[in-house]
């Protein structure tokens, strides 16, 4: 089974691109603070690339922004492509299947500060993010249980 849930903040401005005649895509990353700190007491943040297609891409483009906290449910995928120097580049990213917009940055200064600190969240935000992730995981488990009984 390949099912994940991430809660974090959008790292870059949302740019929607065309992919073929009828497809839209957004490539971005989530800044996700770990639940523990380093030796110096600093928050450790992971940056997880994600891709959203079509309806999810359009929704992100219209309603989401850099610094906004979102929850993504999806699966991890790997792919390979050739860069401009014809070298193979391997990518592992989250393929979004469901996205929930959780909040918006209240001011540009708050957004800038968040990313100067490596995208760290307050302890309250981290706890709230963990609760949202748990609820989404519970929903996925319930769906899988329903599917297995059909």
Output the pTM of the full model: 0.69
**The predicted structure's pLDDT at residue 127:** 67
Q: In the chain, where are the structural domains located? A: 4-149
**The predicted structure's pLDDT at residue 146:** 72
Q: Give the Å distances, CA to CA, from 51 to 56, 83, 122, 130.
A: 9, 18, 26, 22
**The predicted structure's pLDDT at residue 118:** 43
**The predicted structure's pLDDT at residue 106:** 58
**The predicted structure's pLDDT at residue 108:** 46
Q: Which CATH number fits domain 4-149: 3.40.190.10, 3.40.50.300, 2.40.50.140, 3.50.50.60?
A: 2.40.50.140
Give the Cα separation of 13 and 141 in Å (integer): 32
Any idea which residue has 């995928």 for tokens? Answer: 77
Average pLDDT per 10 consecutive residues for the chain, totaling 150 residues: 94 94 95 92 94 96 95 96 95 96 64 41 64 69 67
Q: What is the largest CA-CA distance in the chain?
A: 51
Residues 9 and 72: beta-carbon distance below 8 Å: no
- List Cβ neighbours of 72 (8 Å cut-off, separation of 6 or more): 4, 5, 6, 7, 30, 50, 94, 96, 98, 99
**The predicted structure's pLDDT at residue 148:** 66
**The predicted structure's pLDDT at residue 112:** 42
Whether the CA torsion 104, 110, 112, 115 is positive or negative: it is negative
Give the Cα separation of 126 and 134 in Å (integer): 12
Residue whose C-alpha is closest to residue 144's, from 27, 2, 31: 2
């Amino acid at each position: 089974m390949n099912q994940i849930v991430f809660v974090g903040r959008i790292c870059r401005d949302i740019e929607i691109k065309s992919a073929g005649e009828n497809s839209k895509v957004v490539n971005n990353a989530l800044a996700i603070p770990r639940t523990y700190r380093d030796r110096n007491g600093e928050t450790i943040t992971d940056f997880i690339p994600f891709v959203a297609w079509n309806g999810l891409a359009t929704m992100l483009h219209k309603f989401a922004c850099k610094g906004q906290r979102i929850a993504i449910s999806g699966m991890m995928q790997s792919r390979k492509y050739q860069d401009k120097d014809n070298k193979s580049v391997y990518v592992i990213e989250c393929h979004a299947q469901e996205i929930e917009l959780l909040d918006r940055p209240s001011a540009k200064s708050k957004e800038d500060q968040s990313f100067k600190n490596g995208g760290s969240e307050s302890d309250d935000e981290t706890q709230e993010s963990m609760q949202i992730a748990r609820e989404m995981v519970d929903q996925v488990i319930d769906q899988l249980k329903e599917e297995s009984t059909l």
